[in-house]
Amino acid sequence: MRKTILLFTIIIISTLSLSARHIIGGVMDYECLGGGDYEVTMKMYRDCNCTDCAEFDRRAPIGIYRCGGANPCSNLDQADVLEEFRVDVEDRDPDPVPNADYPCLLTPPDVCVQEAIYKFKLSDYGVSLPISNESYYIVYQRCCRNETIDNLRFPSQQGLTVAVEITPFGQRECNSSPVFNQFPPTIICAGQSVDFDHSATDPEGDMIVYEFCAPLNGGGNSGGACLTPSPSPPCPPPYSGVNFQIPDYTFAAPMGGDPVVTIDPNTGFISGVPTIQGQFVVGVCATEYRNGIAMSRIVRDFQFNVGNCDPLIEGIVEADEIIDGGDGYRIESCGELEVSFRNISSQQFVNDYFWEFEYSGTTNRFDAWSPTVPFPSIGSYEGVLYLNPGSDCGDTTGIIIDVYPPTTADFDFDYDTCVAGPVQFVNNSFTPGIDIIDNKWNFGNGETSNKSEPNFRYIEPGLQQVNLLVEDANGCFATVTKDLPYFPIPRYIVISPSAEEGCTPYEVFFNNLSTPINETYSIDWDFGDGGTGDDISPTHIFEESGIFTVKVEITSPIGCVTDTTFFELINIEDSPTANFVYSPEEITTFNRTVDFLNHSLNSEYFTWNFNNEYQTIEENPTYTFRDTGVHFVRLVAVHESGCRDTVEYNLNVVPQSSYYLPNAFTPNNDSKNDIYVGVGETEYIRDFEMLIWNRWGETIFQTNDPTEGWNGLKNNVGKPAPRGAYIVFAKYIDGKGELQEVKGTATVVR
């Protein structure tokens, strides 16, 4: 089977600025017209898919220098230019250069090269080059190269010099330079052989020697006469080569790797297998010799894009099995003589295709992309898919077709439809002359089995969709689904009450554990106390005491009936009623002792709990609360059966306070009635204030402490108050949170 390599993949990112970081090469050659006149052809190359690219120079600045021999070129500067003029481009927006014609090569859209041609005669610019003992250099310089180059250091900061040298010997012989025959491929495949004829033709038939050489640097983007994007005039020779990423890349091995790609010095044939993917600047020099003397030298500066090439033209068929190491396919048809083939090959570059199958003693051809082929009988057949037959861009794929006899899946079942029990499944599946090797049952409720004829017991009733999938020895499958209506009554009625004994009123949950039942069944409950229910698992409250028999009857959707009586299942005892009253109804700090009167009914025993501080079994206890606040009192009444009832009240002990003012005192320091102070229960008093005024309205005493009194002196430190009556006013918030005001008269007796 033949597979063709065809898809080229490489990532090229062109981030270019107005300094024209898009130049990818150039070349210059000349023809001698005689009389010191020459016709020069310059070709410039750029990436045509860059962003923010500068255009080709509409008028390229050309410079001519003369140096050599007694006039070393290294002594020149731009002021020594012999001639300077600008040449118009033939087409400023040319079409892309055609890529090399590789079979089935799909060129990425971002790999694109444009060629601008500048062709001019020196005489058109009034220039004539008389024969000299020094060389003439015709020069053009441009910055900059694209940033994506892999084999140069800082490629976006390097430009190029396109130049030719007309040697003294070439001037005397009116020699014309060689001309390269074709543009090199911009795209080559990593791991695939490069075979490109980079030869040149010389008009005089002189010998040409080829070599990889260093492309020339020139131009710049950092300012200065020689470091502008397009120096005018161009800078003089000598010119340095570009800076390679040494040691991985050199001008002699511009694409790196081991072994390296080489150029034949005699033929100019570039050959080898590139192993590294990327973008590489390459320089090819063609030096012309006549009688052993170098006549001229031209340099082509260009780029190779090396990427991964994947197969596109590959016959691919949707199949059950890949055979022959991936070059063929096996397709199986179970019981169908007509086989539909699905061609999933890529149709890019496919112009012709057909299928051939051998059967009935002949070769049968089908021209559809994905044909349906009628085979005569059960058996094994061979076929071939042809894509672009006879083309370098094509493929053939072998196919084996196995047509097997049909497999039938079938089963029956048997069970008691009225009383719950297992279902017996009978497997009727078959393939003529072939064993059934696998059975997969799905019983419709998520349960499965791999037995040939299983016994299965359903827990839940319902219309079950039973599926059987079988596989025969050929690997052929068949499936069948049948409805199984499963609605029997339970063989046994099983219930589980939440409790069998309790005290009135008592709630019991009856958990119905009978199987199979669901909401489609009719369930009738008789709880023995006159109450009934129809839930599958009901809850019932027994209000009266007694021993109760519970009966359950179940009717299936198809009318089968079963019932069970559970004799004396539930025993309910009488319950007491706990209650009490107390006196006094308002409990205060002045009266904390409370009498409790038990009003419980139907009870024999009692337990009292006073705020978890005191417990007693007295029937009518008395209790004194120690503090103010809310206290709980709980009474548990117990019936002689052991049934209990509980009642609990929260009692509030209200804090109380009192405050009284006397009407006279004798401040004579005899330790008897020397202080005028109020009396009463002041523990729970807050926000207290007492004021005493004389008859002129002057405040002579004030305090916020109910226990502090007046000693008869002004503010208790001044002069003694005269005999007589003084007005007293006191206010405070009492223990109930209410504002109290007390008014009186304090008579000073001396």
Phi first, then psi: give them for residue 655, nearest 5 degrees. Answer: -70, 135
Q: In the chain, what are the domains?
A: 5-310 (no CATH), 313-404 (2.60.40.10), 411-486 (2.60.40.10), 495-560 (2.60.40), 580-654 (2.60.40.10), 664-748 (2.60.40)
- How far is the first Cα of the chain from the last one, in angstroms, to the nearest whole number? 141
Per-residue burial over 671-683, b = 16 or more CB atoms within 10 Å of its CB, e = otherwise: eeeeebbbeeebe
Q: For 228-250, what is each residue's pLDDT tens digit?
A: 888 999 999 999 999 999 999 99
Do the beta carbons of residue 661 and residue 730 sit within 8 Å?
yes
Residue 247 burial (CB count, 10 A): 8
Sheet of strand 135-142, all strands in order from the earlier edge strand to the far edge: 83-88, 59-67, 135-142, 160-166
Q: Which of 536, 397, 405 is nearest to 460 (CA)?
A: 536
Q: How confident is the model at residue 557 (pLDDT cuts 50, 70, 90)?
A: very high
Phi first, then psi: give them for residue 64, nearest 5 degrees. Answer: -125, 125
Q: How confident is the model at residue 102 (pLDDT cuts 50, 70, 90)?
A: low
Taking every pair of Cα atoms in the chain, the longest distance, rounded to a whole number of angstroms, is: 159
**469 Cβ contact list (under 8 Å, min separation 6):** 409, 439, 440, 442, 477, 478, 479
Q: Count of H helices and E strands in the chain?
A: 1, 53
Q: For 490-527, what is each residue's pLDDT tens digit?
A: 999 999 999 999 999 999 999 999 999 999 999 999 99
Which of 85-94, 158-167, 732-741 bottoms out in mean pLDDT, i.e. has the lowest? 85-94
Coil, strand, or helix at residue 4? coil
Residue 191 burial (CB count, 10 A): 12
Judge residue 58's burial from the number of C-beta atoms within 10 Å of its C-beta, 0-12 exposed, 13-18 middle, 19 or more buried: exposed
Report the distance separating Cα 739 and Cα 749, nearest Å.
32
Sheet of strand 593-598, all strands in order from the earlier edge strand to the far edge: 580-583, 593-598, 622-624
Q: How confident is the model at residue 5 (pLDDT cuts 50, 70, 90)?
A: very low
Residue whose structure tokens are 């037959």: 389
Q: For 650-707, what is each residue's pLDDT tens digit?
A: 999 988 888 999 999 999 988 899 999 999 888 889 999 999 999 888 999 999 999 9
Percent of the chain with pLDDT over 70: 93
pLDDT at position 3 is: 45
Report the distance separating Cα 152 and Cα 406, nearest Å.
68
pLDDT at position 287 is: 96
Three-state secondary structure readout of 172-241: HCCCCCCEECCCCCCEEECCCCEEEECCEECCCCCEEEEEECCCECCCCCCCCCCCCCCCCCCCCCCCCE
Report the distance separating Cα 164 and Cα 744, nearest Å.
132
Q: Note if the pTM is more than 0.75.
A: no
Three-state secondary structure readout of 362-410: EEEEECCCCCEEECCCCEEEEEEEEECCCCCCCEEEEEEEEEECCCECC
